[in-house]
Amino acid sequence: MRAVIFDLDGTLIDSAPDIAASVNRVLAADGLAPHSLEAIRGMVGDGAKRLLERAFAAHEVQAEPRHLAAFLADYNANPVVETVAYAGITPVLAGLREAGHLLGVCTNKPIGPAQKILDELGLAPFFGAVVGGDSTPYKKPDPRHLAATLAELEVGEAVMIGDHANDILAATGLGLPGIFVSWGYGEAESSFTAHTPGELPELIARLGG
């Protein structure tokens, strides 16, 4: 039975409001106008450094290391103010685990806030491995980031589920199937797409899970 590996932001959780709040506080400290929530959603997916680079580039300003440090400090202190698990995610996780799947998280979010969010939302017990964007030298779409998650679970066969092209590319790089979820922040091309969490178990089963 395949393991099931999930992305975090935009897949398991809607974290954009808290991410946007932290980004906008960093911008405000430099006298820059805030970005809309929708604008921030479109910047998420490649890790905190790229997020800050995009946020400042939209103001035609170059992000500096101090901006990333300020964001990480702010976000680490405020990761679960408005962040919630998507409706339907918890019963899907429970069902997959009950069916015998090993579950993991592979996210470009730093491991500290990732673990804190999973703990506070009650999702942590479902996962045998959580690998963050600073857990290895690699980030998705580098398949070695996903490979590190599989190694922690001690499995070779898995399906990757995520809302971003990086998730599907990481899976493809390991010769694994990927399922794109349409309720998140990004875009991707995949042969398998879920429009609600409830569709995931059937898709996983179709992939040999």
Q: Show which residues are catalytic.
A: 7
Q: Alpha-carbon distance 33 to 22, whole Å?
A: 13
What are 130's strand-pairing partners? 105
178 SS3 class: strand
Q: Which residues contact 91 (CB under 8 A, 6 or more apart)?
A: none
User: Contact, 194 vs 200, CB < 8 A?
Assistant: yes
Q: Alpha-carbon distance 178 to 184, whole Å?
A: 15
User: Contact, 163 vs 183, CB < 8 A?
Assistant: yes
- Give start and end residues of each alpha helix (H) in the chain: 16-29, 37-41, 48-57, 65-77, 89-98, 111-120, 143-153, 165-173, 200-206
Nearest to 6 by CA among 118, 116, 87, 83: 118
